Structure 1
Amino acid sequence: MSPIVDASLAALAVGPPIPLGELTLLPLFSSRAPGLAYLGLAEALETRQLVISEVSHAGEVPELALSSSASLPVLLVEGEALIGARQDRFVNASLLVPPGAGMRIPVSCMEAGRWSWSRPDFVDGGLLASDAIRRRTQRSVLASLAAGRGRRSDQAGIWSDIDQLHARAGSRTETRSLRHVLEQRNAGAQRRIEALPGQPGQLGLARFEAGRLRALELCSRDDVWSRLQPKLLRSLLLERSTLEHPRSPARSVPLPEDWLTALRARMSRSDVERYASPGLGHELRFEAPDLDATALVHAGELLHLAVYCD
């Protein structure tokens, strides 16, 4: 276990539980003040301090070109959707773009049926890929790194996952885009989950199902998290049609009081690999039979953590 990751988890405080259908969400806070200042993807794209485009007119599916004019670093989070250019994509790995940098970033296709220009560049997609797709990407990127192939994903598996989401949602789309699954979901459900308020100082969410921890995600700045949380909540609708239909709350399932201590223990038993990031800092990739996680660390600070548990 990385001391930086473990110390960050140990410093977490938990807010009151938020019921959401069969899920329970726990807001996460920290007793540690953030150190590094940086922008999130949405803000950087909206203010044109970051431009993301195809690497050339012909384009390459697994890579995009990025140019930053920002005076601060910019955090891209694994799974964040990018809409436009020749084909919608999502980011394969969390990375911190240096101020003023130009670079290529590793991505996956989330729109298999389009390879034509919709606009010259990309805009923020407003959502994250689904849990299953993000976890598949974590695992396949780790295997790709171990084989010396960079941060390539299991693209065929991702397309299959998206097709299954369309089949379950009964959605129709010529381009097989992941975002079209969300567009088919009940608009009222989207409004309900998007109305769940982030709280001042909140840095993340832990997600439970049937009393078991299924996922945890956090970043080091509450201003960046405030733009990330709505994306995360929208992504829950991709896989969970039950969230579309209001119903009486299910019987409350108690959450284990020691869940955070148990998570730290599970992560300490996981295999951990360290890799230099394409941007600033380094990645830590955790793998166990019942857990997958990635962490982005820079200058002694945990900037982003995404954990998935069985």
Structure 2
Amino acid sequence: MDKTLNDYFSNLSYLDVQSFKNISIIGVKTVTSNDKIADLLPLKKGLDLGLVTISECEDGPSVNRVSVKNNAVTPLIILDGEELMGAKQNRIANNTYIIPAKTMMDIEVSCTEEGRWSSSFSDFKYSDHFASSSVRRAKSEEIYKSLNRDGTRSPNQSRVWSEINDEIYSLDVKSDTSALRDMYTINKNRFEEYKSHFPIQENQTGSIIFINGKLVGVELFHDSNLYKNYHDKIVESYIPNAIKSGGETLAKVDYDVLLKDFIDNILDSNPESFDIHGLNDEYRIDDENITGSITLLNDDIISSSLFRKVES
């Protein structure tokens, strides 16, 4: 493994365990937790301030591409799995992108609203949700296949829709357009109850998530200032999986053993570097145990989302 990645994952420190029903979350502090990098403009803030606009591509709408214009004087960060709503249909980012200041570029996306292809309003707005962990895991596996097949980040859209429909069905959601966002809005009160048990902790830079006693995901960021923009949405993205998995009580587990096993899996993996539009570099892991991506900027790890594969 690259020395930067090895040093990063070998020097994590852990906060208190928080638990509710069948979910447990261990907060993480990275060695860079107090080192703020150059300003990165979060997508929500950029859209709210009118510094960022996102629309269908100028050369014609495409299910798997949208156009981003960053008018800010700082780079814009769009996280893998962040959802946009509006335009022809809702979409999620297929990767993490760091877009230079004063730049317009297309990014690759997946559709999260199978039953609509008509404009609700011309530009995209911020959805306030991430794709669920199950959708992001499936998308990660498909993007890895796509990159190795033809160098594109074009996941199997049918699989993305299938994962969304499975969760909509599992949570008994009625959605005319099979929209991922409807799952969140219809279950808002139910999800808020879960989220209330997982407040962000001091200097927290990430989370490690367990469902029914199994470690299912690792979400890490460069520093606490960056992470705090996403904590609630990351926690929320695992709730559908927890509900779908069943179980109302916590499994008795040895967290130290599970953590060591997963981190060892990461350290033993062979991350592959792929070219990506924007300022950032990207590593991807996809082996028998783990799938996910790691985003770097100037050799600093900015974010990583790594998922335990279902079959493992």
TM-score normalised by L of structure 2: 0.91
Identity level (%): 21
* Pair 1:217–1:290, CA change in 2 (3 A): same
Amino acid at match of 2:94: N
Q: Give the whole-Å Cα distance in 2 for the aligned partners of 1:46 and 1:9.
A: 34
State the Cα deviation string for residues 126-166 of structure 1 (Å, max 9, x = none): 11111221111111111111122411011011111112122
SS in 2 for 1:147: helix
Aligned to 2:73: 71
- Which residue number corresponds to residue 216 of structure 1? 218
Shift of 1:46: 1.3
Pairing of 1:1-16 with structure 2 (within 5 A)? 1-16=1-16
Q: Which residue of 2 aligns with 1:227?
A: 229
Distance 1:292 1:60, change over 3 A: same
**Does the Cα contact within 8 Å between 2:95 and 2:108 map onto a contact in 1?**
yes
User: Counterparts of 1:191 and 1:256 in 2: how far apart (Å)?
Assistant: 24
- Unpaired runs of 5+ in structure 2? none
Q: Quickly say closer, same or farther: Cα 1:254–1:169, change in 2 above 3 A.
A: closer
Distance verdict in 2 for CA 1:75–1:230, change over 3 Å: same
Larger mean Cα displacement after TM superposition, 289-298 or 256-265: 256-265
> Which moves more between the two structures, 82-91 or 273-282?
273-282
CA positional deviation for 1:42: 1.4
Q: Decide whether the 8 Å contact of 1:111 with 1:178 is kept in 2.
A: yes
Displacement of 1:13 after TM fit? Answer: 1.4
RMSD: 2.2
Name 1:165's counterpart in structure 2: 167
Q: Quick one: distance in 1 between partners of 2:147 and 2:88?
A: 26
- Kept after mapping to 1: 8 A contact 2:212/2:250: no
Would you say the 8 A contact 1:77–1:91 is kept in 2?
yes
Aligned to 1:279: 278
Contact 1:194 1:233 in 2 (8 A): no
Deviations 1:198-240 (A, max 9, x none): 1232111001234332110011132221121111122223333
**For the residues of structure 2 that align with 1:35 and 1:113, how far apart are their CA atoms?**
41
Amino acid at match of 1:34: K
Residues 242, 92 of structure 1: CA spacing in aligned structure 2 closer, same or farther, 3 A cutoff? closer
Tell me what 2:31 maps to: 31
Task: Please give the secondary structure, in 2, of the residue aligned with 1:105.
Answer: strand
Distance 1:71 1:194, change over 3 A: farther
CA shift at 1:7, angstroms? 1.4
Distance 2:250 2:241 in 1: 22
In structure 2, relative to structure 1, the CA distance for the partners of 1:225 and 1:72 (3 Å cut) is same
Structure 1 segment 15-164 matched on structure 2, within 5 A = 15-32=15-32, 33-56=35-58, 58-164=60-166
Unpaired runs of 5+ residues, structure 1, are none
In structure 2, C-alpha distance between the alignment counterparts of 1:55 and 1:158, rounded to whole Å: 21
In structure 2, C-alpha distance between the alignment counterparts of 1:240 and 1:211, rounded to whole Å: 11
| Contact 2:114/2:179 (8 A) holds in 1 | yes
Structure 2: how far apart are the matches of 1:210 and 1:171?
23
Give the TM-score, by structure 1 length: 0.91
Q: Work out whether residues 128 and 235 of structure 1, in 8 Å CA contact, stay in contact via their aligned partners in 2.
A: yes
The alpha-carbon distance between structure 1 residues 202 and 181, as it changes in their structure 2 partners (threshold 3 A), is same
Report SS of the residue matched to 1:266: helix
Inter-CA distance 252–155: structure 2 relative to 1 (3 Å threshold):
closer
> In the aligned structure 2, how far is the partner of 1:58 from the partner of 1:300?
36
Alignment of 1:229-308 (within 5 A): 229-241=231-243, 250=249, 253-308=252-307
Question: 1:240 is paired with a residue of what secondary structure?
Answer: helix
Q: CA deviation at 1:259?
A: 4.3
Alpha-carbon distance in structure 2 between the residues aligned to 1:165 and 1:259: 26
What corresponds to 2:185 in structure 1?
183
Q: Is the 8 A contact 1:90 1:129 kept in 2?
A: yes
Task: Say if 2:219 and 2:306, in contact at 8 Å, map to a contact too.
Answer: yes
Check 1:17–1:196 CA distance in 2 against 1; reply closer, same or farther (3 A cut). Answer: same
Decide whether the 8 Å contact of 1:67 with 1:103 is kept in 2. yes
CA distance in 1 between counterparts of 2:196 and 2:87 reads 27
**Residue 234 of structure 1 aligns to a residue in which SS?**
helix
* Structure 1 stretch displaced more, 83-92 or 118-127: 118-127
Q: Secondary structure of 2:252's match?
A: coil
Count residues with an aligned counterpart.
307
Alpha-carbon separation, structure 2, partners of 1:200 and 1:74: 25
Q: Which letter maps to 1:184?
A: I
Quick one: structure 1 residues 268 and 188, their matched pair in 2 at CA, closer, same or farther if it must change by over 3 Å? Answer: closer
- Paired with 2:207 and 2:130, the residues of 1 have a C-alpha distance of 14
Return the alpha-carbon distance in structure 1 between the equivalents of residues 250 and 173 of structure 2: 31
